[in-house]
Structure 1
């Protein structure tokens, strides 16, 4: 029989914090209630709030210095939350800096927060350096750079110093990611099982139909648009260039499918002393569900709106045409919008979802052979 002193160093400390962090599984029952449109747990926000979860960034500079910064504000959307860090001492981009994002749950004991122990679950780790990231937009003071894993950095244009950080967290497996990742002793994020479409050996067109999609455009304060689409499909002869295309909104059927946006496409930002707004930029949260209504592709990231290079004559909307695009290793999304001068609003007139064949094929080797 092993004695207590024979346990690895820190063993009992980790066990203690795991219990306090909700690792006893009492919160799992609440996750079983699923939203009919998004396919995601309805009570995600409720669980995170009841457990007192907060978010921290650990800034690790090249010289070895570390600085922990607590979040300043959170926006809860329908399928994701956006966490912001508007204050803190940030480094310049002259030397590489690592940002580690943690979900934090403090022990509920009566002592100052600065001294209170807790469980820190690693969510992601991003390297920020000069020349890295994708430019999403800018104003006269800052530039918005999208790094990866939902991390967007606002950089002062003159000083090339971080001004603020915005991070998008999709609700899919978000509770598990905030509670089941490891602490600073053994730093590994929670790894969810790969999202796959269920294999159907009877249906020869498995993987080509019965997808659904929920799309939300929002910023750090408000929702701009929130729409759901059902029964998306693709024919085999439409597969090309490594993608399964799903036509969500078509120009040919624009009178019945056109989707107006309910707000301005912009992204407000603020620091301790200044605030501003980046035009023609917002956050995109995408949830693609497979035939069994299970999450298949989940994304939450900034997206820029640019003027379309292909102007076409339109009799329904006589305004200018614009384009939004997002792409990662699992797929891509193309949204075409038109500005209606009479209603003073943007309307989605064309939307195509492209799923990577390699992602669809992960479900089975038999289907991989078919495509």
Structure 2
């Protein structure tokens, strides 16, 4: 009875109906699959469609429409993940050997992939090999001091140095090699200006650019990249335009930085300036702003030294910013300072001389340029400038380059005195404004006073020269290093301009400090 009941229960299906006996062929296939470990084919009748119905016959599928059967399959591993896993499974010695064939920029990019590659890409063995291969036998640049001992492999091993030492030495050597390279290019001095003749070429070749950071009174900083650069014989005029400027009345400080990309990385997201050198910082609270000109659209405000802010007339918004920089030690100022501290010129004194009673008062050479952002209005050099000891007055020595009484020294200008400006959508010209670049050399042809600054022309209160019939103008510039006074005459209306007087005034204390004198 029990046996018959068991057979009855086994013969029933899951729905309580008698199960269909399996044919002999299906029984044989099932036994073979069980022995070999193969899984029997799945019955699609146990799956449900997306609408919740069971798969039926031909008529049911026609009435129900097209249905989809969802089968759960194991997720396949991506090829990239498996490849990365296979690379990371290699021994560290083999990985270091592979990475040693990469250049510095590739190692820098690879260090951002994972923690393992960050550790391997910063390994001292790799950077030690690169340092020795590139700078170990270099004849172009040699490190100073204790670094010479580093190159002797027999005395110093990789393990004797702290972690990261060789990577720092490598980049330090690159910086030193770059400085040596552009300083070598600047050794050739121009006989006309007394400045390095390849300054413009070096600035362009090294892709030196300048960045302006504007801070408002709320503490927010706005950074603007250089839009245009106009190069001249002894100076460069930089221009910034665009949107995003804070209101002029809200500006707190202006900071000018020089930048250079020391390494061109292959990763676009990592291409950024590797160094920012502070050139000048302007505090609006302490700076004395002076309006030097305007036209129908903008008003020009001059800040010492050498910066112009263009403001839209009738508004308080900034239209553009111009900065004039002199070439004297511009490379050092743009690259060798820090982001917070500017580069300071080393103190260079003239040789001591106790025989000449007027030592330091003669032998000066002046290179003088008047220009705007487009053309050069006047460029000339004046040699053998001097001042008698008895002519020192009010703590200033007077150096006359052009005398208004000597008609042979008067110089015509190559155009009208104006300053063109250009924004993204508008442009214009401000009359009676231009740029002045001055380079004063001592008797040893060394730079003594260098300045590049915007200047403005105003009507003279009295006639400056009675030999010309025209309108008389004056141009003056003054800073902590000296004064410049010019007399200009415009012949009749819209006629040519003539520079009939040019005089420099240098403080006596500046002469005493440079020449070790006591005037």
Q: CA RMSD in A?
A: 2.4
Change (3 A) 1:14 1:344: farther
Structure having the larger proportion of residues in helix: 2
SS of aligned partner of 1:109: coil
- The answer to whether the 8 A contact 1:258-1:348 is kept is yes
Structure-2 separation of matches of 1:94 and 1:313: 42
User: Post-superposition shift, 1:192?
Assistant: 1.0
Hey, what's the Cα distance between the residues in 2 that align with 1:57 and 1:87? 12
Contact 1:198 1:363 in 2 (8 A): no
Distance (whole Å) between structure 1 residues aligned to residue 424 and residue 475 of structure 2 = 31
Go from structure 1 to structure 2 and tell me whether the alpha carbon gap of 1:363 and 1:341 turns closer, same or farther (over 3 Å shift): same
Aligned to 1:25, the other structure's residue is in SS state helix
2:274 — aligned with what? 118
Alignment counterpart, residue 427 of structure 2, candidates 272, 275, 293: 275
User: Do structure 1's residue 190 and structure 2's residue 343 form an aligned pair?
Assistant: yes
Q: Secondary structure at the match of 1:4?
A: coil
Q: Deviations over 1:163-201 (max 9, x none)?
A: 11111110000111111111x3xx111111246544322
Flag the 1:155–1:27 CA change in 2: closer, same or farther, 3 A. Answer: same
Instruction: Indicate conservation of the 8 Å contact 1:21/1:105, yes or no.
Output: no
Provide the secondary structure at the position in 2 that maps to 1:102: strand
Aligned to 1:292: 444
Q: CA deviation at 1:152?
A: 1.5
The answer for the alignment partner of 2:206 in structure 1 is 51
Are 1:59 and 1:67, in contact at CA under 8 Å, matched by a contact in 2?
yes
1:221-253: per-residue Cα shift (whole Å, max 9, x none)? Answer: 111110100000111111101100011111221
Other-structure match for 2:215: 60
Q: Who wins on radius of gyration, i.e. which is larger?
A: 2
Change over 3 Å in CA distance of 1:321–1:362 after alignment to 2: same
The TM-score, its normalising length taken from structure 2, stands at 0.65
Q: Which residue of 2 aligns with 1:33?
A: 188
Deviates more, 1:279-288 or 1:93-102: 93-102
Gaps of 5+ in 1: none
SS across alignment from 2:356: coil
1:159 aligns with 2:315: yes
User: Which residue of 1 is the match for residue 357 of structure 2?
Assistant: 204
2:383 paired with 1:217: no
Equivalences for 1:127-276 in 2 at 5 Å?
Answer: 127-128=283-284, 132-182=288-338, 184=339, 187-194=340-347, 196-254=349-407, 256-276=408-428
Please give the alpha-carbon distance, in whole angstroms, between the structure 1 residues aligned to 2:248 and 2:449.
Answer: 32
The structure showing larger relative contact order (alpha-carbon pairs under 8 Å, at least 6 residues apart) is 1
Equivalent residue, structure 2, for 1:330: 481
Query: Which residue in 2 is equivalent to 1:95?
Result: 250
Q: Larger deviation: 342-351 or 318-327?
A: 342-351
Aligned residues: 359
Q: 2:424 aligns to what SS in structure 1?
A: coil
